[in-house]
Amino acid sequence: MTRHTVMVLTQPYDFTSDLVIKRLYERGVDVVRFDSGWFPRDALLTARLECGVPEPLTSVMPTVGKSWELAQVASIWMRRPRDFVFDERLNAGAAEFARNEARAGLGGVLRSASSLWVNHPEKEVTACYKPLQLTLAARLGLSIPRTLITNDPGAARTFIETNRNGTIYKTLHVPFTKSGDGPDSLVFTSIISPDDIAALATIRYTPCLLQEWVPKAFELRATVINGRVFTAALRTNGTPAVDWRAAHGDLEYSGYVLPERVNDLLLRLVDELGLVFATADFVVTPDGDHVFLEVNPNGQWAWLEHETGLPLIDAMADCLAPFSAAGQDR
């Protein structure tokens, strides 16, 4: 059977997915939008495994959305799926058991597909480890900030004292924290202050990531889609922000071409991480050096097309459906 269906694993409200799905529809591509939050309570999975059959004979029938068969799926874009949802009659222990079974069942079936993953779940999880990213980047030859990962207050103090340009703190994992029953708070990258130094003993509770501050002329957000790199320069009016996300309303955007060497090394880094898609952040110093900060295997990017005109939506559509007419002509 010829595979001409693109599966988008995401929640019902996802602006970035909407843009790509619209473009795929314009190309005449069959698209299935499926949210794991519908499973297992509101979707039926049937997968049959037999000798001589290369992958499970699988069908999924959700009560909302579109039914699909795995054999028709050419590519799977793991964009923003939600957690599983279970029958309210299950107690906490039963729900946890059901969650593990759902993850192994649906997750195992999807991983059995002979489809392109953007990105494969295991590759994405591994690529999120910032120490690994920085190690691979430095090994390949990209410039990185001087970095310390520690829960030793003494080591942290020595590191801070030896950084001539100052020191920043950033999270090792997702940059969100919970406070009681309120909404999640975003933890921005920040300069280590005298108050932070006075409270260094608190890092004994968990490791932190410290880096020497890199002087900025401006920053870059590079989006890698199936071997193609699209880069935007992000500039702030006046002094560059420590974390551009905190100055989002004060940014000016423009297209940018990475130096060939940096471009090639970024592609090698993304390839070594096993990714098809990624966003990467760089600092461009006043001397023109390009310093790699981090890579996000599921970073945001759609707003950059609006701001710069970079053809990111078409690039993602090409990646997910190279068999489409527009994909063949590009």
The tens digit of pLDDT for each residue in 136-172 reads 999 999 999 999 999 999 999 999 999 999 999 999 9
Nearest 10 degrees: Cα torsion 286, 289, 293, 294: 140
Read off the pLDDT band of 240 (50, 70, 90): confident
Of the spans 169-178, 222-231, 247-256, which averages the highest pLDDT? 222-231
Strands in 226-305 per DSSP E? 228-236, 251-256, 277-284, 290-296
Question: Which range is least confidently modeled, 178-192, 224-238, 275-289?
Answer: 178-192
d(CA 310, CA 295): 19
Structure tokens at 263: 């471009």
Q: Is the pLDDT of residue 95 over 80?
A: yes
Read off the pLDDT band of 330 (50, 70, 90): very low
Rounded mean pLDDT, 77-92: 95
Q: Which domains, from first to last, does the chain contain? A: 5-118 (3.40.50), 146-212 (3.30.1490), 218-299 (3.30.470.20)
Q: What percent of the chain has pLDDT over 90?
A: 79
Read off the pLDDT band of 246 (50, 70, 90): low
Q: Is the pLDDT of residue 130 over 60?
A: yes
Contacts of 52 (CB under 8 A, 6+ apart): none
Structure tokens at 29: 């591509």
Give pLDDT, residue 325.
56
d(CA 280, CA 301): 10
Give pLDDT, residue 329.
45
d(CA 171, CA 211): 11
Rounded mean pLDDT, 122-148: 97
Give pLDDT, residue 277.
98
Q: Which residue has the tokens 């905190």?
A: 246
Strand partners for 145: none
Residue 64 has what DSSP assignment?
Answer: S
The average confidence (pLDDT) of the chain is 92
Rounded mean pLDDT, 9-13: 95
CB of 21 within 8 A of CB of 79? no
Q: Which helix (H) or strand (E) holds 121?
A: helix 121-127
Contacts of 81 (CB under 8 A, 6+ apart): 9, 10, 11, 34, 35, 36, 37
d(CA 30, CA 7): 9
CB-neighbour burial class of residue 38 (10 A; exposed 0-12, middle 13-18, buried 19+): buried
Rounded mean pLDDT, 198-207: 91
Q: What percent of the chain has pLDDT over 70?
A: 92
Nearest to 319 by CA among 204, 194, 226: 226
Rounded mean pLDDT, 291-313: 96
Q: Which residue has the tokens 């997968």?
A: 47
CA angle 120, 124, 126 (to 5 degrees): 125
Residue with more model confidence, 9 or 53: 9
Give pLDDT, residue 248.
66
Residue with more model confidence, 54 or 223: 223
Read off the pLDDT band of 26 (50, 70, 90): very high
Read off the pLDDT band of 115 (50, 70, 90): very high
Rounded mean pLDDT, 108-128: 96
